[in-house]
Structure 1
């Protein structure tokens, strides 16, 4: 009886199989993504249908406006340019507050993490300020800086900076002390240690904290508009509510929500790019 031997696959055949497998996996990922989006769309359609049915039948129209009324109100706000004007004001206050809060929070977090002596002294006070309901300070901030844009920026910055501060502080405190000792043995000065060790280690935590802090800054800006403002989406929602215009309130809330989701998507994309860059740097 003769035994045959199986000839090994050629390089071209193996490459073809690999390409086919990659193409099949990519096709499966696309199909899975389509299924997910189909389910999401079905959920939204079902929710809007139930909402449309309930408005005027189960709940009074002035309490729960129908989706069609919300769309009509959205068109009215857009036609007069009112919605975009309020959105620009809120995003300006939120953006400035977010930038200032990120700068102050990351700087303080880095300093507290690097200099442990400062950390031990200031930590209880930082914990107290972090635990404080920042929004309750809004009336006091009005007394300090007035009711113009500065007040909303102040509330947004003070609200979000503590999220960033604690994340960066924890990141710098978790530095591997063996790596720190190696830097010092190689004669690195403090600036080189900060740039070469602390900053790269804190980057991932910082980006994560930015995604968490942006909605907090947005809430701070909107609350500032609730307290004292004649502009912004917070003012639009409050004014619509006082006129029993639930459709106007929903338009303002949805605009704020969609804006926050858009910014979060941008920050998530930046986070993925930085993670990819860090991975390539580690392999290199």
Structure 2
């Protein structure tokens, strides 16, 4: 305690300087483009200037109270400050949903910009890790990036807009065991009557119905041809159809949880 008192005789000064340090970057952003920006930057970067003098400079700035109003999404480099949990399998990066979740073994972190620059402008592969009764299976969905609803589906897999499919459950099976069987899931439940629309979809088709930019419901055809319940955004890939067909026969499909989700990209693409 004595050593602390010797090092930090004025706790108020230390607390204030810490607060200033946390917001200094924001302060510099706000004065960036102002007439006195260069003057402020030079003063704050002067190593000979006492810390409390720098505090006074910031506190006396008439824009200081506006610092909390600065939104990161107004900055072009915002993606460099948000990080994905990433796993690597052979030549693929798996960017996992931006949510509070348990890290997978040997998880890496990469900025969002690393994922964005690797996204294919035509199509992308999303993944949903589904778990039930001690089992866990990964389902891949190839989505058409040229469709607005498909891009929204990708956002809900990655959590870039805040909301996601992470920790959601499958909600129902339509026409169970019959031709046109479909599995429903997502972070919003429209109800069957609102979903039904004209059109016909093949087995393995993935449809999506948007509620808001941050919510919607996906529908996956698991048997024969089905009505078009929403906008067709893509198709199941590899063994995904087999997994969903098995899931559809469960006595209670709501026990199936999306425990992880995200997007798969080529680790070696530029």
- Higher Rg of the two aligned structures: 1
Q: Report TM bin, short chain.
A: under 0.3
TM-score, normalised relative to structure 1: 0.21
- Identify the structure with the greater helix proportion: 1
Structure with greater strand percent: 2
Which of 1 and 2 has higher RCO (CA within 8 Å, sep 6+)? 1
